[in-house]
Every structure is written in C-alpha cells, then in structure tokens.
Amino acid sequence: MPKKKTPDENKPKVNNPNVMGLRAEVLEQLITDTMETNFMPYAMSVILSRAIPEIDGFKPSHRKLLYTMYKMGLLTGARTKSANIVGQTMRLNPHGDGPIYDTMVRLSKGYGALLHPFVDSKGNFGKVYSRDMAYAASRYTEAKLSPICQELFRDLDQDAVDFVDNYDNTMKEPSLLPTTYPNLLVSANQGIAVGMASQLCGFNLAEVCDATVAYLKNPACDLSSILVGPDFPTGGEVIYDQAALEEVYRTGRGSIKIRGKYRYVKSENLVEIYEIPYTTTVEAILDKVAELIKSGKLKEINDMRDETDLNGLKLTIDLKRGVDPDKLMARLYKSTTLQDSISCNFNVLIAGTPKVLGVRELLEEWCAWRTGCVRRRVYFTLGKKKDKLHLLKGLKRILLDIDKAITIIRETENEADVVPNLMIGFGIDQIQAEYVAEIRLRNINKEYILKRVQEEQALRDEIDDLEDLVGDPRRIKKLITGELEAVKKKYGQPRLTSIVYEHEITAYNEEDETPDYPVTVFLSRHGYFKKITPQSLRMADVQKYKEEDGPSQSFETTNRAEVMFFTNRQQVYKCRLSEFDDSKASLLGDYLPSRLGMDQEESVVRMILPGDYSGALLFFFENGKAARVDLSAYATTSNRRKLTGAYSDKSPLSALLHLTEDRELALYSTEPRALIFNTALLSPKSTRTTQGVQVMTLKPKYHLSEVKPVEDTSITNLPRYRCRSIPAAGALLKEEDGEQMRLL
C-alpha cells in the first residue's frame, strides 16, 4: 500500500534555484488557511479592541486616555500640555500620538461632539460642525479632566471592575470604567469594524437618568414618554416620528430626522441659521447652496456667507425683495443637508460579544452590570471593615490586661520576638499583634480604650448593614437610583435639541413654486429639445433644425408636466419640463445628451409624457417580439433622474408607443410585409426588461422595421393584414397599400 501523506506533504512546494543569486523557497498556502491565520485574528481585534463600544460607553482608546489622565492627577489638578497627556497615554495605547490626540479632540469641550465632554480643554480644538476648521497641534493646547469624570472613577479604587495587563505587561489598566450613569446612551459614539459597525446617538443626561430610574422600578415602563428623542450638542430640531422612534428603541436600528434652526431678521431682510444637524458641516451646506444657485434652481438668494465667530455658529442668507423666508427655508431643508437623517445602529460589546440592542435591552444590560459593580464595591468595603474589626478584637484583648502586655514587651530581649510573644501571651494572630505593637505609648489611656471599644460596636453594625445590602436586590436598586438622581441633579442640563412635530412643519412642494402654463414641446431626430409657449409659437411657428435633422415628436402639455426620455442604451431619464428654459422656434434648443449627462454615444429614441402614470408602454423589437409594460413600473417615490434597465436589450428597439387604451396597430417588416393586430392580445408584464412575446414571425434575413396606429397608415384593405391571434406572419404588402413604405 502507498504511504499516506501528511497534510504538510500535501501542500505544494516550489523551489526557485536563483533569485538575486540566493536560493529561495516559496510555499503555496490555501486562501482559507490565510484567512484563518492572518485575517480572522485581525478582524476579531478590530471588533473587540478598537471599534465597538462596551457597556460603559467607551472604546478602548477612550478608556486608556481617560485613565491615563486620571493617574496623572488631572481630575483635580491644573491643566497640562496635551502633548504630555498623549505621551503618557502611549504607555497603554500603542497606536501612535496622532490617533491618541484625535481621540482627545473628540472628547474635548472645545470640539463640541459630546453633550457632556470628558476633557476640559484650552486652546483650538476645532469644531464638530466645521470640516475645514483644523485643531491646533498638541504642543499648543492644554487639557484636564472635566468634573463629570468623577462619576467614571469614583469606584475605580474599590475593586468595582477588573484590571488587566497593558499591551507589554508592564502596568495594569481597567477593563471597564465603573460609570455611575448609562454613559452608553448619553455620549454619541460611532465605529466601523470588520463586517459590522456601530452608531449610537446621544440622549439627554437628565432624561436617561429618569428613564433608568423608571426602568429599575418597573422594567415594563413606557420609555418613549421619558426619552422623547435624541439630544445633540449642535442643537437643531428632531422631527418627531413616533413609529420611527419606537423602532429604534425596540430594535436598536433605524433613522431619525433632524434639521437646523433659523431666525428671520426682518429689518435687514436676511435669515440667520444658528444651529445645524449633527451629521453635517457648514461647508457642506454652503457648497450645496452654491451649487443650487449656480444651476439656476435657487434664485431667491442674493448672498450666503459664514459668519461663525466666538459667539457660535451663524450662516447668513441675504434674501431678494419679496421672498418668503419660511418657504425658502422649507426648500433648503429639502435640497440640502440642513435637514438630514441620522442612522442608528446600537451595536455594543456585551461580555465580549457584539450585540445590537434596543434602548430597553441596553438599560437592562447596564443595570445588571452596574449592580455587579456596586456589589463588588460593597464587598470591598465589607472586607476592609472586617479587617479593621479583626484588629480591634485583638486590641480589645490587649486592653483587658494592658499591664501584662507592657510586661511582655519590656521583658522581651529581641525586637523580633515582641510580636510572637504577644501572640502567645494573648492568643492573637500575627496581624493583630503587629497592630498592637505599633500603638504609641501615649495612646494607652482610658479615653483611647473607651473609643476603641465603641468603635468596635459601630463596626459590627456597619458590617451587618453591608451584609444585608449585598443580599438585598431592592436595596442595591435603591442605591443605584440614589446615585442616578444625584448625577441628574449635579450634571443635568436642559435639552439642546428641541422636538418639532410633522404637522408643525411647512412642507416644501416643488410644484407650488413652479408656474404652470401651456407649452408645446418638440424633440428632433438628433436629440434637440425645445419648450415653447403658445405666444411664442404664434409669433413664429417655423422650427429651426440642424442640417440633416428634423422633427421627431411634439406634444401640447403644461410647464409642470413630467417628461421621460428613453435612450438606445436601455435607460430612461426623468425630469420636469419646468427645469428647461422657455425657448423659441428660431433656436435649436437643448441638446439632451449633454443636458442630461448621457453616456458616450447614447441618444434619445423616444419622448414620453407619463402624466399620472396610467396606461402602458409597448416595446417592439426587430426580432418581431413585443412587450407590454405598465407605465406605473417607471414611477419612483424618490427623485431619481435616471433608471437603468428600462427595456430589454436582447434585440434592437424598433418602436416605442404610449398606450392609453387598446387599439389596432400596423407592423411593417423589411420583406416587406404588414400585420395588423389589436393590442388587447398583449398581456402586461411585471418586469421592465421582459423580452415580451412574438407578435410577427419573420424570415431570417428580415426584421421588424416600423409600428404605426392603423389610422396613420395608407392601408386600404385592412382585412388582408388583420390577424386574430399572434404570432402571425402578416401579408405581403400590396402596391396600393405600400405608400407608407415608399415614403420611408
């Protein structure tokens, strides 16, 4: 039998005898092995140690920075240079000074990204609402911890959380910070890991504390009545949508609409925008407004400028005379990021496992974790008091016969034998004997003895109370509730983001702003488009075209109508006629491939006015097939201007007709043959790219050339060409019926 190969022997090995004069050995490795050994550890590291926040509301980079500042004494001390903080933090965070300083900037008061910043900064730290306002280098700025950080570190020295080794095992750092309030819901946080992301919006601290207290008292409480919506440091308004909020609270996913605030200064005829959505910047808004003005879609504005100063953000818009500021702002809300949506994805690490949780589940997890922290703190305090009681018990024995203790100490020859002799003489352990031996001679008096005896009894009472606290969940909840109420009282602040209801909003309707009047539209064979008013047509109705160009289609309609342009690349472009300027018969008009931004060598094959999107479109292809597609398939709820896959690309398009009611059509082939059929024989298809059904059977060297309504043809003998079912070959075209073909 052949010898069975080991897994290593199965892996192919390639030897290159000479590579730069050296012998090189190249090993091939399966991609699955590479993923397992290289990529998966990296992915897990990013998820667990970098991008996803944990139950205390911090990522590792935040926690390392704040803990370093705490150990530097910056909670109560004076500010120090940011460069000094960054350098000290590198003992815990090995990712370099740049990312560490970026983290400090985001946590700072000057940057303004958090409702309750953790870093009390001095100097230029940039602004969250500005894309171009860069922060100063770390050597120029100073910082210390904000007062609210007391709530992060209060229990840290009482064994409330675990400590772990840093990256090089030279010091310890906390695995979590024992926050006394649900910082996870107060501090906005976002991160992108491998295969997952996290996006947590901030809520008002006072509301979060109230909601947590209500949950501790009744886990089934109505949270939406307490947490009315997110609160953002940039202010603005949350557009209240109860269904959307409840979805976010329930699943941890969804989106919430927010918009900026403005005021109208009547004396100067200008609008001042003083708060913008948390998700955008002043530069993004200014760029978009400039784009709208340049394209001619925003003619009500004389000027818009950024007047942000030390007093805060301010964008000023100078209005033209007679402009309604509310209607203009409604338009800007719709057209720019002055109104935006913030996505919510409450993805949090729970005991090392990423989970997407709703608000109620987050409160449940935080309350359970905080209960564990409080228990550990109580156990720590209980242990300290028990140790002290143990010492007092030994002291009590000594004090019952103090003369004996003095005699033992006096008669002991060696200092090292004092503690053992006291242990033997009074039956106490080494710890108690050490404590007694360290008592100063001046403390051996009646007052001291009485105080120690009274202290022992007080300690016993405290120990009993702590043991009862540890074993009583209701008392633990009451303790957490008291801490939350204290945090609310000390650090709570009014909402920065107000709530506005949809019925209070002036909705912008583009049609209301667009004048409506009769127009006639013309499309040439080469793709030139004109929109002409009746008055202009009466003055001159002879249309101008380029050489070898000519009329293709024309319709009478109104300025507000929608128009669709189908192209030879199976695409359709949708727009409003109001977007085109009024033209004249003496002008060529707009060249659609350039105006609509079509692809190279793409051209218009048909213009359709959809109206209310009733009826159907009939697509006829050169292979004799036809597809009937409901026009409603091209209706879109969003303002999409371009749809791909407008019709099938299996065969070239011969004709495209808008059908409002069934009628008879005449089909011509290049043989030449003609076929008349009723469109009722075509069943509607559900997809736009359907090939349809065979209508006219063709010989291999011929193709379908044209489709016309019967009344637009010169056919006199209609029964000859009419069919009752499809597919059909039609009949050879007679000379007296072929005038239409001779004109082609």
Q: Which residues are catalytic?
A: 140
Task: Report the Cα 544 to chain-centroid distance in Å.
Answer: 52
Residues facing residue 734 across a β-bridge? none
If DSSP codes are grouped into helix, strand and coil, which group holds residue 292? helix
> Closest by alpha carbon to 531, among 482, 573, 580?
580
Strand 197-200 versus strand 237-240 pairing type: unpaired
**Mind giving me the DSSP string for 128-190?**
TT-SS-PPPPTTT-EEEE-GGGHHHHTTGGGT-S-EEE-TTSSSEEESS---SS-HHHHS-EE
Alpha-helix residue ranges (DSSP H) falling in 295-358: 325-335
Angle formed by the axes of helices 359-400 and 205-217, nearest 10°:
80
Q: Which two tokens stand for residue 720?
A: 């000859």
- φ and ψ at 350, to 5 degrees? -115, 110
Helices (H), 310-401: 325-335, 359-400
Q: 271 in helix, strand or coil?
A: strand
Query: What is the enclosing helix (H) or strand (E) of 678?
Result: strand 673-678
- For 708, counting Cβ atoms within 10 Å of its Cβ (0-12 exposed, 13-18 middle, 19+ buried), the class is middle
Distance CA 184, CA 200 (A): 8
Q: Can you tell me the distance from the alpha carbon of 47 to that of 59, in angstroms, rounded to the nearest whole number?
A: 10
- In contact, 562 and 575? CB cutoff 8 Å: yes
Q: Give me the phi and psi of 252, to 5 degrees please.
A: 85, 5
Encoding tokens for residue 135? 């922060």
Run of H or E residues at 45: helix 40-46
Write b or e for each residue in 464-495: b if 16 or more Cβ atoms lie within 10 A of its Cβ, otherwise e: eebeebbeeeeebbebbbebbeebbeebbeeb
Structure tokens, 675: 């076929």
Which residues have a Cβ under 8 Å from the Cβ of 84 and sit 6 or more positions away? 72
Q: What are phi and psi of 229, to 5 degrees?
A: 160, 170
> What is the chain's percent helix, strand, coil content, to nearest 5?
40, 25, 40
The contacts of residue 659 (CB under 8 Å, 6+ apart) are 615, 616, 617, 618, 628, 679
89 CB neighbour count, 10 Å cutoff: 23
Taking the alpha carbons at both ends of the chain, their separation in whole angstroms is: 82
Amino acid at 514: T
For residues 165 and 76, the answer to whether their CB atoms sit within 8 Å is: no
Asked whether 710 and 719 are in contact (CB, 8 A), the reply is no
Answer whether 181's CB lies under 8 Å from 203's CB: no
| Number of other residues whose CB lies within 10 A of the CB of residue 218 | 8
Q: Are 375 and 225 in contact (CB under 8 A)?
A: no
The β-bridge relationship of strands 642-644 and 704-709 is: unpaired
- Among 151, 113, 89, 60, which Cα is nearest to 349's? 60
| SS3 assignment, position 69 | helix
Cβ-Cβ contacts under 8 Å for 417 (sequence gap 6 or more): none
Alpha-carbon separation of residue 344 from 248, 382, 607 (angstroms):
7, 42, 42
Which amino acid does the sequence have at 564?
M
